[in-house]
Amino acid sequence: MLCARLIAGMILLTGCVPTSRPYYAHATGAISGKVVDATGRPVAGAEVWAISYSPWMPIGSTLPFAIVDAQTTTAADGRFTVVARGTIKGLSAHTNGLAMSGDVNGVRQTGNVIRIARPRPLP
């Protein structure tokens, strides 16, 4: 009897253990926003990727596979709308040749702002 209670208690407690993965807001369908540079000016012609994550993780990794679900290019005013097929938890943007890049975790249907900047030089 004690053994059955112990097993039942262990099963209940495993649902209360916090996970190492953070929660990010997510969206589906048409997702819109704006890409701006470090000074807040809109960036025209930046490529935007809608990122979803696979539930499977590589062995020995703490990060799941990132999958580009959909992509688009920003308009002259930096605005974009990307139509995703799956659940999107992140957005990534970069300019031609990766001169500037940036990303955002946690996505809303509208009002997403992706700040992109030049990468820091290596020491």
Work out the percent of the chain whose per-residue pLDDT is above 70. 72
Domains of the chain with CATH codes: 24-115 (2.60.40.1120)
Round to whole Å and give the CA distance between 35 and 75.
10
In the sheet that holds 66-73, the strands lie side by side as 66-73, 47-53, 90-94, 101-105
Work out the percent of the chain whose per-residue pLDDT is above 90. 45
pLDDT of res. 16: 47
For residue 4, name the pLDDT band (cuts at 50, 70, 90): low
- Per the prediction, the chain carries an average pLDDT of 81
DSSP code, position 111: -
For residue 106, name the pLDDT band (cuts at 50, 70, 90): confident
pTM for this structure?
A: 0.72
122 and 44 Cβ atoms separated by less than 8 Å: no
